[in-house]
Amino acid sequence: MSNDGLSSLSLPGPATLEEIVHVAVENHASDIHLKAGMQPILRIDGQLRAITTMPLLESQSLRSMLMAILTPEQRKNFEENFELDASLVFANHARVRINMYTDVQSVGCAMRLVPLKVPTIQELGLPPVIEQLTHLKSGLVLVTGVTGAGKSTTLAAMIDEINRRQTSHIYTIEDPVEFVHRPMRSVITQREIGITTRNFVSALRTALRADPNILLIGEMRDAETMVAALKAAETGLLVFSTLHTRSATKTMQRILGIFEPKDQEAIRMQLAYALRAVICQQLLPTLAGGRRAFHEILVNTSTIQEAILFGEFDKLNEYMRNGSFDGMCVMDDCIYKAYSDGVISGDVANQFALNTDEMDRALRGASVL
């Protein structure tokens, strides 16, 4: 197998897994891919780049390299299931979320690099409304986006803001734990699926008896977890979680779509009263280099609440456009503004727009978003 089509990095060839991680951190990579028959590959600013100065990874040596970093229990889990998700720390370099798997050729893995230092809201340059949401006392706040959109980083910054400012019990349930929060003004409890608890549902039951103020659920994957999250939000907790959706409208549809039709009206009512905000996030490459987060933000005002109650999701974009005073914005409007301000290219604006036809007309000057 060759690396044809990949751009390359000409770097001193790392020989160990820890050195590969170090090279990735030094080059601001977000991910590492290790596969037999290929050189190590880094994802930098969204693009895959091979470390051409390192020899191709041999199947058995790659397997030995990966097995050496696992605990006996993790090795047993991998051998039985042919795949594994785990978190690891490499010296002072980074915390790594690793996904190991077996394909038709050999063992392989993808590693997501997580900084050891939790970034602040200010360092990430997030919109002011996101900091304002950390002052909420109860309700459900969702951060959504595709894989790799930075959802975990945004959530970590929000938790960090609360931890710095107020005395609360912050309880997180993650699969796996990514950012590790050190207690500042708050008490921190972090639980990891498969390591310190069996699953989200059982961890949620325990969490509700642990006197939490803030609850972070790494991902709402099923109806049972969603019901528990909504109940927690209704009973006075501030609940944060994520979904893999690109817009506020799709988020509402996704939540309801997980439930049977007979249950959707009741869930819609719960959602209307428990939801506080939806933050949809994308990372776009900028003309200056690197990537920057852009957001669609829905805040559950009385107008939005009424639309959710009656299932009028087609009106959400209009209400968000008229709700800038409350910090609301529509993703494509934010992208078009970035293009107008010379932050991103027209090609990037078109590529990441949710409505590509509307964006294309706007870029050609035929209409305004």
Q: Concatenate the DSSP letters of all residues of 145-197 into one string.
A: -STTSSHHHHHHHHHHHHHHH---EEEEEESS--SPPPPSSSEEEEEEBTTTB
Q: Name the residue type at position 225.
A: T
pLDDT of residue 65: 93
Domain with CATH 3.40.50.300 in the chain: 121-329
Average pLDDT, the chain: 93
Superfamily of domain 121-329: P-loop containing nucleotide triphosphate hydrolases (3.40.50.300)
Q: Is the pLDDT of residue 369 over 60?
A: no
Q: Are strands 7-9 and 94-102 parallel, antiparallel or unpaired?
A: unpaired
Tell me: the pLDDT tens digits for 220-278?
Answer: 999 999 999 999 999 999 999 999 999 999 999 999 999 999 999 999 999 999 999 99
Name the pLDDT band for 2 (thresholds 50, 70, 90): very low
Q: Are strands 7-9 and 47-51 parallel, antiparallel or unpaired?
A: parallel
The neighbouring-strand residues paired with 298 are 278
Give the residue-averaged pLDDT of 320-334. Answer: 97
Q: Name the residue type at position 39.
A: Q
What's the CA gap between 256 and 305, in Å, rounded?
15
CATH of 7-114, one of 3.90.550.10, 3.30.450.90, 3.40.50.300, 3.30.70.360: 3.30.450.90
pLDDT of residue 316: 98
pLDDT of residue 167: 98
Q: What Rg, from alpha-carbon coordinates, does the chain have?
A: 22
Give the residue-averaged pLDDT of 75-82. Answer: 94
Give the residue-averaged pLDDT of 56-82. Answer: 93
pLDDT of residue 43: 96
Exposed/middle/buried for 216, CB within 10 Å: 0-12, 13-18, 19+?
A: buried
Domain with CATH 3.30.450.90 in the chain: 7-114
What's the CA gap between 11 and 51, in Å, rounded?
7
What's the CA gap between 334 and 339, in Å, rounded?
9
* pTM of the entire predicted model: 0.90
Name the pLDDT band for 352 (thresholds 50, 70, 90): very high
